[in-house]
Structure 1
């Protein structure tokens, strides 16, 4: 499909239709920026977690054993290579047991995916009062910390097992 010939309003309409289809497939839970919803769905599917309700405070999913998981994701592109995750609020409350963080490429390929124990986050994050929470960058020493587990393989396996629906445009 050559998008160059489409008018702006047609591109926006196509994006809306894609979002609606992803939501009907259960991949997205909202019509907001799809990065967070996609990450939550991918992690839950790959690791056998149950997604929490959208209104659940402090965590996004739970394991069968009751472990609470916060999921954060970032999509990088050539113009914005920042690996800063979304703000982690109320870190001191311990509302989750581990943070799963994903960096996607511009085309939604998994670049980094790690599981970080709650106890490790404060060592690598900085509290910022102006955003009322902790800021964490997924890079450097954090990625080589022995307590941080790389989960790219599990996520990649889930992605490769997803069937394509008839009529879906693919590369």
Structure 2
């Protein structure tokens, strides 16, 4: 076998392992779509707080506790990308949830830090870039008044899967 064929075989083995892992996560109802990081974050918050997840087609919010609604955003850091910017943030007039549930994962999916950020606090923390709001979830956000640090709660929930 040539070196190129060997690398191709290794790549195929890795892709197969990835496929098996994705299938197993779907079977266990840990993920629901192809957005593995986002789905895992939603499932983790729902388990940690006993929230009900909304349907995948609901763009307004991801979960509810029966009183408040929550939009879950996450980011998985990697050795090549340490950005903590959370994507897909709606403009202020389109915010249709009460609280942002945010989590930053390490590359191995362990919870680095997590928080609940009420919308009035969130709007004060966001910045704009080329007309779209953005939110960079740095660890310092955990010290902002009104933000609830839920890191330990999410880490505990990780141990229940």
Q: Residue 113 of structure 1: SS of its match in structure 2?
A: strand
CA 1:75–1:140: 2 relative to 1, 3 Å: closer
Distance 1:19 1:142 in 2: 32
**Residue 41 of structure 1 corresponds to which residue in structure 2?**
43
TM-score normalized by the length of structure 1: 0.84
Q: Secondary structure at the match of 2:26?
A: helix
* TM-score (norm: length of structure 2): 0.89
The 2-side partners of 1:20 and 1:91 are apart by 37
Deviation at 1:33, TM superposition (A): 3.6
Distance 1:150 1:99 in 2: 12
Structure 1 residue 21, shift from structure 2 partner: 0.6
4+ residue runs of structure 1 moved beyond 2 angstroms? 127-130, 140-143
Structure 1 residues 54-69: aligned runs within 5 Å: 54-65=56-67, 67-69=68-70
Tell me the number of residue pairs that the alignment of Structure 1 and Structure 2 aligns.
Answer: 155
Residue 87 (structure 1) shift? 2.1
Structure 1 distance, partners of 2:17, 2:112, is 26
Q: Which runs of 5+ in 2 are unaligned?
A: 1-6
Q: CA RMSD in A?
A: 1.9
User: Structure 1 CA distance, aligned partners of 2:35 and 2:14?
Assistant: 16
| Cα distance in 2, alignment partners of residues 121 and 159 from structure 1 | 25
The secondary structure found in structure 2 opposite 1:108 is coil
Please list every run of 5 or more consecutive structure 1 residues that lacks an aligned counterpart in the other structure.
163-171
1:29 — aligned with what?
A: 32
User: 8 Å contact 1:50–1:61 — kept in the other structure?
Assistant: yes
- The corresponding residue for 1:139 is 138
